[in-house]
Amino acid sequence: MNWLRVSVLVTGGAGCIGGRLCERLVALGADVTTIDNLDSGYTWRLPSAIKSFVQGSILDEKALSHAFDYQPQVVFHLAALFANQNSLDHPEQDLAVNGLGTLRVLERSIRCRAARLVYASSSCVYGDAIAEHSGANRLAACARTPYQATKFLGEQYAQIFSNRLSIVTARIFNCYGPGDVPGKYRSVVPNFVASALRDEPINVHGEGTDTRDYTYVDDVVEGLLQSALAARAPGRTYDIGSGVETSVLSLATMIRSLCASKSPIFNVPKREWDVVRRRRADTETASEDLGWTAKVDLSFGLAATIKWQRSYGEKTEATSTPARSPS
């Protein structure tokens, strides 16, 4: 697909991934609309050349209708209540946004006859069922957080409507990179970087031997774009990850070193829901069907992330508290 003048809707476009995706689409010549309620998003992530920004929740029928007024040919559904702990603290909101919100986006996409929808799922759906690697058929026997349950619920809704809409599911693995800010319900990388830059303790939950697959945001964006393009993709599910395992303790050590930090690394009690010992994306299917593999190695990606956070992170964290709107 030539993206020039293609009408695209990105839900959750003011998030870290959403903002980078909007930037990339604008650069490719697409007409981009995004909807975001700014509960955890920031308008400074959005490119100035975006066609339209709708501030509102995907649960708000009026705002959602406005976003779909532009008759998107491609929809990237990224809007979600993010993070496991957030879902435990706010389970009803998690169900509403990630469940009902996803259903409404699917229904609107069918109504406007979108050519394709890419649903951004999460590696959390694998739960503790994963051993050395994942795979579309290796799912958690039971959910341990509402977020895990509702991201998989979104996949099930996508499957139900796949006979009426060309849908691709992208399970994203531990995305990090420039634009991701630290905070209570945010990812481990920006939080570790924030501590390291201040020479404050870096708190590692448990012994730090658990592994995760850290994937650079620009690689994730390219994976999403290819999911929207590939002829073999509709109806399929792809791991969007680097395929490389890194222990949490190794991650903390790398960040401390790259920041030239004096931060001590402390082991703190594990969170009750966090039982996954190993996680690594199965990259074979995405490589075969999408022609996509992650290209940015962790050391380069962390250096770019630290550079961004050193220059902009504290300023944006302090001055850009997201405006809240009703969900």
303 Cβ partners below 8 Å, 6+ apart? 258
312 has catalytic annotation: no
Query: What type of residue sits at position 142?
Result: C
- Catalytic residue (one of 147, 176, 216, 238): 147
40 φ, ψ (degrees, to nearest 5): -135, 5
Q: Write the burial class of residue 66 (CB in 10 Å: 0-12 exposed, 13-18 middle, 19+ buried).
A: middle
Nearest residue to 168 via CA among 81, 100, 229, 216:
229
DSSP E strand stretches across the chain: 7-11, 31-36, 52-55, 74-77, 116-122, 167-172, 175-176, 202-205, 211-212, 215-216, 237-240, 246-247, 265-268
Residue 279 has a CB neighbour count (10 Å cut-off) of: 24
Token representation of residue 221:
């964006």
211-212 vs 246-247, strand pairing mode = antiparallel
Query: What type of residue sits at position 240?
Result: I
Q: Report CA-CA distances (Å) from 225 to 123, 212, 276.
A: 18, 23, 29
Q: Report CA-CA distances (Å) from 36 to 81, 116, 119, 173.
A: 11, 20, 16, 22
31 Cβ partners below 8 Å, 6+ apart? 5, 6, 7, 8, 51, 70
Q: Compute the C-alpha angle 326/146/180, nearest 5°.
A: 65
Catalytic residues: 147
